Structures are given as C-alpha cells and as structure tokens.
Amino acid sequence: MTWLFLTLGSAVLLGFYDCLKKLSLRDNAVMPVLFISIGAGAVVWLPFMLWSAVAPETLPHKFLFVTGISGREHLLLLVKSVIVGGSWVFG
C-alpha cells in the first residue's frame, strides 16, 4: 500500500514541477532558465557532497551522506542530462 502513496506523491510532484517549468519559461529564454535550475540544484547538493567527502562522520544523519559514483554512472548521468536538456529545449 505504501507504493501507492509514493506513486501518487510522485505524480503530483512531477505535475507541479512541469507546471512550474512552463511558468518559468513564459517570456524567458530556455538556456538561462535551465542554467538557473541547475545552479539551484547545485547550491542545494554541493554542501552535502563536500561535507560527505571531508568529514562524513560529522553529518547529523546518514540520509545526508552523498556516496561517490563510478565513471559508468557519470556517463549515465550525462545521458540523462542530455535527455532532460533536450526536453527543455524542444518541449
């Protein structure tokens, strides 16, 4: 039953994200909005990435720990980024 609530929550959040994306692109160029979106995500995650690399034992909760990824996983993220970027530019 938990998966049902997670699925519904995911659908609601994705719909909210899509509406906000369309709203942010109204009368704006795609690339600057995409850059700001990527920058906002980096501002959120970069401190935890650095904290996990420098002093992981001082993190207040293990949920905040950011694990390293392999070269293959970096490649998969690159492919995903190209797909998402394409959806922003052509969508």
pTM of the model: 0.64
- Confidence at residue 24, expressed as pLDDT on a 0 to 100 scale: 86
What is the four-CA torsion angle of 43, 81, 79, 90, rounded to 10 degrees?
A: 180
**Among the listed residues 33, 46, 13, the one whose alpha carbon sits nearest the alpha carbon of residue 84:** 33
- Confidence at residue 47, expressed as pLDDT on a 0 to 100 scale: 94
Q: Measure the CA–CA gap between 79 and 84, rounded to whole angstroms.
A: 9
Burial class (CB in 10 A: 0-12, 13-18, 19+), 84: middle
- Token look-up 């997670």 returns 6
- Confidence at residue 21, expressed as pLDDT on a 0 to 100 scale: 83
For the chain (91 residues), the mean pLDDT of every run of 10, in chain order, is 90 92 87 89 94 94 92 96 87 72
Q: Measure the CA–CA gap between 47 and 85, rounded to whole angstroms.
A: 24
